[in-house]
Amino acid sequence: MPRIVETIVSTSDKDGNVHIAPLGLIAEGKHWIIAPFKPSKTLENLRAHPFAAASHTDDVRVFAGCVTGRKDWPLTPTAEIKGGRLADCLSHWELKVEDIIEDDLRPRFRCKIVHQEAHGAWQGFSRAQAAVLELAVLTTRLKMLPPEKVESELKYLEIAILKTASLQEEEAWGWLMEKITAWRGTLIKPVDLKG
């Protein structure tokens, strides 16, 4: 399996408006593949302006925030490409699309790093951060997964939160749980014929 790095990808539309979304960048030799599902703003932007920044952050609230409607994270201009990146990140890559592998579901944009910078020191792994990332991904797939699978994965991931979460992870988890609670409300309940 290729290495996949979970990052905050920023792309720009034709007017220069920057859009951010969490995406997994797939390693392929010296290249990184951005593979956005159709339809998505990231995909639309990459076609209009074939450049992106990948911001690496250990603040998992940005991942949870982006998938729960909280996209207003501070941005700063990129150094070599036209666009923006997270102002508060540990490092970032600036990427240029070299070619596109078309696909009906998920085109692949093969990118080369044209610039990279470090901005802070990485503080190490935490199980709670990984759990937030997993739940964030899960919340983007709620309509595709059987409810029992969502509930059993949630139960497992919650252990890491209860044991190792800092305030940041607790906040991120809370936002994701609001989304899970809303989704639970949309599930069709079995009719109680005796009732």
- The binding site for ligand FMN (CB under 6 A) comprises 6, 21-24, 35-37, 40-42, 63, 67, 133, 136-137, 140
39 vs 190, which CB is nearer to ligand FMN? Answer: 39
**Nearest distance, CB of residue 161 and ligand FMN, angstroms:** 16
Q: Is 10 helix (H, G, I), strand (E, B) or coil?
A: strand
Q: Peptide bond before 39: cis, by omega within 30 degrees of 0?
A: yes
**Nearest distance, CB of residue 19 and ligand FMN, angstroms:** 6
- d(CA 29, CA 18) in angstroms, rounded, equals 28
**Nearest distance, CB of residue 139 and ligand FMN, angstroms:** 8
Interacting residues of 68 by C-beta distance below 8 A, sequence separation 6+: 139, 175, 176, 178, 179
**Nearest distance, CB of residue 128 and ligand FMN, angstroms:** 15
Buried b (16+ CB within 10 A) or exposed e, 8-32: bbbbbeeeeebbbbbbbbbeeeebb
- d(CA 40, CA 105) in angstroms, rounded, equals 11
127: nearest Cα among 172, 166, 154, 153:
166
57 vs 78, which CB is nearer to ligand FMN? Answer: 57
- d(CA 22, CA 44) in angstroms, rounded, equals 15
Tokens at 158, concatenated? 């919650």
**Nearest distance, CB of residue 143 and ligand FMN, angstroms:** 12
48 vs 79, which CB is nearer to ligand FMN? Answer: 48
63 vs 73, which CB is nearer to ligand FMN? Answer: 63
13 vs 79, which CB is nearer to ligand FMN? Answer: 13
| CA angle 86–90–94, rounded 5-degree value | 55
23 vs 86, which CB is nearer to ligand FMN? Answer: 23
**Nearest distance, CB of residue 132 and ligand FMN, angstroms:** 9
